[in-house]
């Protein structure tokens, strides 16, 4: 637990050591909120769905911030020269690996809530108070699920060496194929299949159903499926992380830039 | 003049080699406009008056601007991080000409965004992508590149004078896409946003490019957009010259040219 908490705390703090509060707000809030507005306005200008469809979908995509930053942790450790010490430590790998995701998950979930607030205040999204408990739980599940993908990308970043690109590809793939902007039924089969395989897809669907006044119990299976998908990505990420660590130790390539 | 041209071209050559080796810049020039074009086409293609050329041009512009933003904001600061800035300043070649060459190369990379989105529209989706006024479109594209180059020339010294600006500029990507109407008309925005749109050169670049590709603007309106692009670019270049002078004077006085 101590390793988990320390990993969570330092994994977060170290990533933002270079930021001032203004830059933090611009990078972490202005960018996702303006991205949400951009795609929602494209939808409003001529999309096949009502504005609410795009607002809810794009607000949920803000959850991908967690995956983006988690994926960046390994690259940041390597760039700062601390990866070898981390790997050399006797700390439990599971606690170390999942601890790094903890604060990002909580932070991103808060940003999704801010995204919904932005949609209500600026675009007039109608979300009755009774829908909020279900939506909040959906946000938590969606953020956790997409964090699993972030953990996998973080492990891939060991080999690929550029988590920034991996994280961006993840976000744009979610914007295209998760149903955030285009109903899966309007996508070609390959993209629709990709959407089904991504985390967040089912959380977005659940959020839309809840925002439309649907019963929470009806959305529960979707949320459980999304949680399972996210967990699957996280486990694959952890296995990959462990395997790459062994190979990198053997070959002495931990700090390859 | 020949000397400056040689410095400009050499700097551009080195930058082109460097920037094409950066995965992040390649992402901005190639992958991001690809994703935006594909997503926007799927979102909009069912509307009755769908114009694929509009999406191709708008998504291409998003790539052009993203490359300008990121390469411009780190053009000088990257030299500092690599320890080259003092050497560049000590050389007899003016720093602004060197940076001009770097931004010129960045514009060559940025131009590939348009090629990518054209391939998406014409190749992937099989739409006929032909500008309605090819000559006006070509001139508009050159004007757009020139104005974005001038913007990059301001970003370079700005991000050295005030380091947080580099991160701050990174957050302005979508706001500029929105304000400049790359993929939807700015008429969708509240009226008080329009003065901000008019003040941004990419808005006029988008207006000229979309107007000439769709044939929705009279030639006089396109010429007006060109003139505004030229005027704003001139203002930006004067600002860049002033900022470079301030930066060099401060750096020499404080001895902080190589500080990271």
- Would you kindly state where each structural domain of chain A is located, as residue ranges? 2-251
* A6 vs A3: CA distance, rounded Å: 5
Question: Which of A40, A41, A169 should be substituted to probe chain B, the one whose Cβ sees the most B Cβ atoms within 10 Å?
Answer: A41
Q: Chain B partners of A19 at a C-beta cutoff of 8 Å?
A: 167
- Does any CB of chain A come closer than 8 Å to the CB of residue B47? yes
* pLDDT for res A255: 65
Residues in chain B with pLDDT < 50?
260
Q: What is the mean pLDDT of residues A17-32?
A: 75
Identity of the residue in A42, A172, A182 whose CB atom sits nearest the CB atom of B32: A172
- Distance between terminal CA atoms of chain B? 33
CB-based contacts of A186: which residues, under 8 Å, 6+ apart? A48, B42, B46
CB-based contacts of B194: which residues, under 8 Å, 6+ apart? B186
CB contact at 8 A, A128 and A40: no
- Compute CA distances B173 → A144, A213, B61, B212, B213, whole Å: 27, 35, 11, 24, 24
Beta carbons of A176 and B35 less than 8 Å apart: yes
For chain A, give me the number of helices (H) and strands (E)?
A: 12, 0
Q: Chain A partners of B27 at a C-beta cutoff of 8 Å?
A: 164-165, 168-169
- Does any CB of chain A come closer than 8 Å to the CB of residue B126? no
pLDDT exceeds 90 at position A246: no
* SS3 category, B57: helix
N residues, chain A: 257
- Does any CB of chain A come closer than 8 Å to the CB of residue B77? no
pLDDT exceeds 90 at position A18: no
Q: Which of A54, A182, A208, A186 is CA-nearest to residue B188?
A: A54
Q: Chain B partners of A176 at a C-beta cutoff of 8 Å?
A: 35, 38-39, 42
Q: Chain A partners of B165 at a C-beta cutoff of 8 Å?
A: none
Burial B209-248 (b: 16+ CB within 10 A, else e): bbbbbbeebeeeebeebbebbbebbeebbebbeebbeebb
Arithmetic mean of pLDDT over chain B:
90
Q: Chain B partners of A43 at a C-beta cutoff of 8 Å?
A: 43
Chains A and B: how many Cβ contacts under 8 Å? 101
* B175 vs A26: CA distance, rounded Å: 11
Q: Which of A166, A21, A80, A37 is CA-nearest to residue B175?
A: A37
Query: Of the segments A87-91, A153-157, A212-216, which one has the largest average pLDDT value?
Result: A212-216
Share of chain A above pLDDT 70, in %: 91
pLDDT exceeds 80 at position A92: no
pLDDT exceeds 70 at position A167: yes
* B77 vs B167: CA distance, rounded Å: 12
Query: Dihedral of the CA atoms A117, A118, A119, A121 (nearest 10)?
Result: 80
**CA nearest to A177 within chain B:** B39
Can you give the three-state secondary structure of A37-62, one letter per residue? HHHHHHHHHHCCCCHHHHHHHHHHHC
CB-based contacts of A152: which residues, under 8 Å, 6+ apart? A233, A234, A236, A237, A240
CA angle B144, B39, A141 (to 5 degrees): 130
CB contact at 8 A, A69 and A150: yes
Banded model confidence at residue A257, pLDDT cuts 50, 70, 90: very low
Beta carbons of A46 and B50 less than 8 Å apart: yes
Nearest CA-CA distance, residue B94 and chain A, Å? 31
* pLDDT for res A241: 81
- Would you kindly state where each structural domain of chain B is located, as residue ranges? 2-254
Beta carbons of A187 and B185 less than 8 Å apart: no
Show the tokens assigned to A96: 């170390």
Can you give the three-state secondary structure of A88-157, one letter per residue? HCCCCHHHHHHHHHHHHHHHHHHHHHHHHHHHHHHHCCCCCHHHHHHHHHHHHHHHHHHHHHHHHHHHHH
- Does any CB of chain A come closer than 8 Å to the CB of residue B259? no
- Does any CB of chain A come closer than 8 Å to the CB of residue B3? no
Q: Chain A partners of B31 at a C-beta cutoff of 8 Å?
A: 165, 168-169, 172
Question: Which of B163, B171, B175, B185 should be substituted to probe chain A, the one whose Cβ sees the most A Cβ atoms within 10 Å?
Answer: B171
Banded model confidence at residue A176, pLDDT cuts 50, 70, 90: very high
Banded model confidence at residue A114, pLDDT cuts 50, 70, 90: very high
- Does any CB of chain A come closer than 8 Å to the CB of residue B23? yes
Q: Which of B245, B184, B232 is CA-nearest to residue B51?
A: B184
Q: Chain B partners of A20 at a C-beta cutoff of 8 Å?
A: 164
Q: What is the DSSP string of B82-128?
A: TT-HHHHHHSSS-HHHHHHHHHHHHHHHHHHHHHHHHIIIIIIS---
pLDDT tens for each residue of B59-104:
999 999 999 988 888 887 788 888 888 788 788 888 899 999 999 9
* A226 vs A140: CA distance, rounded Å: 11
Question: Strand locations in chain B, DSSP E?
Answer: none
ipTM of the complex, rounded to two decimals: 0.91
* SS3 category, B189: coil
């Amino acid at each position: 637990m101590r390793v988990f908490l320390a990993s969570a705390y330092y994994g977060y703090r170290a990533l933002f050591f270079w930021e001032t509060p203004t830059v933090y707000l611009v990078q972490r809030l202005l960018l996702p909120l303006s991205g949400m507005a951009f795609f929602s306005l494209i939808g409003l200008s001529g999309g096949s769905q009502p504005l609410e469809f795009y607002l809810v979908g794009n607000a949920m995509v803000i959850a991908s911030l967690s995956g983006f930053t988690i994926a960046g942790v390994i690259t940041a450790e390597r760039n700062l020269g601390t990866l070898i010490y981390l790997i050399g430590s006797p700390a439990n790998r599971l606690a170390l690996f999942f601890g790094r995701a903890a604060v990002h998950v909580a932070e991103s979930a808060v940003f999704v809530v801010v995204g919904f607030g932005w949609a209500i205040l600026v675009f007039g999204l109608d979300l009755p108070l009774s829908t909020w408990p279900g939506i909040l739980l959906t946000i938590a599940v969606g953020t956790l699920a997409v964090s699993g993908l972030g953990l996998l990308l973080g492990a891939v970043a060991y080999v690929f060496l550029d988590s920034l690109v991996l994280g961006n590809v993840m976000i744009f793939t979610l914007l295209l194929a998760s149903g955030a902007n285009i109903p899966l039924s309007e996508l070609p089969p390959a993209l629709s299949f990709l959407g089904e395989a991504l985390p967040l897809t089912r959380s977005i669907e659940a959020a839309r159903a809840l925002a439309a006044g649907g019963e929470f119990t009806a959305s529960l299976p979707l949320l459980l499926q999304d949680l399972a998908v996210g967990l699957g990505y996280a486990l694959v990420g952890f296995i990959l992380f462990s395997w790459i660590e062994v190979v990198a130790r053997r070959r002495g390539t931990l700090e390859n830039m | 003049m020949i000397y400056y041209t040689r410095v400009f071209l050499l700097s551009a050559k080195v930058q082109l080699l460097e920037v094409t080796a950066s995965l992040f810049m390649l992402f901005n020039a190639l992958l991001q406009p690809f994703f935006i074009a594909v997503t926007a086409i799927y979102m909009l293609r069912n509307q009755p008056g769908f114009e694929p050329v509009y999406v191709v041009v708008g998504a291409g512009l998003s790539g052009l601007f993203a490359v300008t933003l990121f390469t411009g904001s780190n053009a000088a600061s990257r030299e500092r991080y690599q320890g080259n800035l003092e050497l560049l300043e000590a050389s007899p070649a003016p720093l602004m000409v060197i940076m001009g060459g770097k931004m010129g190369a960045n514009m060559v990379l940025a131009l590939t965004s348009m090629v990518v989105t054209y391939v998406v529209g014409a190749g992937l989706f099989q739409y006929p992508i032909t500008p309605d006024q090819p000559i006006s479109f070509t001139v508009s594209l050159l004007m757009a590149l020139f104005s974005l180059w001038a913007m990059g020339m301001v970003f370079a010294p700005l991000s050295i004078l005030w380091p947080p600006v580099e991160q701050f500029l990174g957050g302005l990507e979508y706001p500029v896409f929105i304000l400049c109407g790359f993929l939807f008309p700015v008429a969708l925005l509240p009226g008080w946003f329009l003065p901000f749109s008019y003040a941004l050169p990419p808005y006029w670049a988008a207006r000229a490019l979309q107007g000439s590709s769709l044939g929705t603007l009279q030639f006089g309106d396109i010429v007006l957009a060109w003139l505004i692009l030229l005027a704003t670019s001139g203002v930006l270049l004067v600002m860049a010259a002033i900022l470079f002078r301030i930066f060099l004077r401060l750096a020499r006085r404080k001895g902080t040219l190589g500080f990271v």
